């Protein structure tokens, strides 16, 4: 079960696509909102019904290719920002880059920016009409 204090989100980001089997993941996501999923599949292939837009990007593959792995786990949380930027346009790449440069240790900046950029480039969008 998914538990959150947010009842009517504008954006839902799913880092593990297997969570999509739970209806609660998209409950409350309204018309025109965005469901952003870390998945190799095209948004239509997810077979998710709703009045929201869907974006997919295989952030896992990008991070594995770049070596963004900690304690044997692929770390996709930063990379998925690329899909978030491309889908929502709430924030632009320059602002994200500034935040990464200010908050990340110097040895992690380039690899994380590369992950964000590459994920942005491969993001697939499906807008509801």
- The residues, any chain, with a CB within 8 Å of residue 96's CB and separated by 6 or more, are 81, 85, 116
Bridge partners for 125 per DSSP: 55
| Distance from C-alpha of 128 to C-alpha of 107, rounded to nearest angstrom | 40
What residue numbers bound the domain in which 114 lies?
Answer: 11-126
Does a structural domain hold residue 6? no
Of 67, 117, 61, nearest to 93 (Cα)? 117
Q: How far apart are CA 127 and CA 87, in angstroms?
A: 9
Could you tell me if residue 117 is inside a domain? yes
Domain of 100, CATH number, reads: 3.40.920.10
Query: Residues 95-108: pLDDT tens digits?
Result: 999 999 999 999 99
Rounded-to-integer distance, Cα 53 and Cα 87, Å: 9
Share of the chain above pLDDT 70, in %: 97
Q: What is the pLDDT of residues 16-62, one digit of tens each?
A: 999 999 988 998 998 999 999 999 999 999 999 889 999 999 999 99
């Amino acid at each position: 079960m998914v538990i959150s204090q947010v009842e009517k989100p504008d954006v839902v980001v799913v880092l593990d696509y297997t969570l999509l089997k739970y209806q609660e993941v998209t409950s409350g996501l309204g018309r025109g909102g965005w469901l952003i999923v870390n998945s190799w599949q095209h948004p239509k292939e997810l077979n998710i019904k709703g009045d929201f837009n869907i974006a997919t990007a295989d952030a896992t593959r990008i991070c594995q290719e770049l070596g963004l792995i900690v304690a044997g786990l692929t770390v996709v949380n930063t990379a998925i920002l690329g899909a978030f930027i491309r889908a929502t346009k709430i924030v632009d790449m320059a602002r994200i880059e500034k935040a990464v440069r200010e908050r990340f240790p110097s040895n992690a900046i380039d690899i994380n920016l590369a992950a964000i950029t590459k994920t942005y480039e491969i993001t697939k969008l499906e807008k509801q009409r």
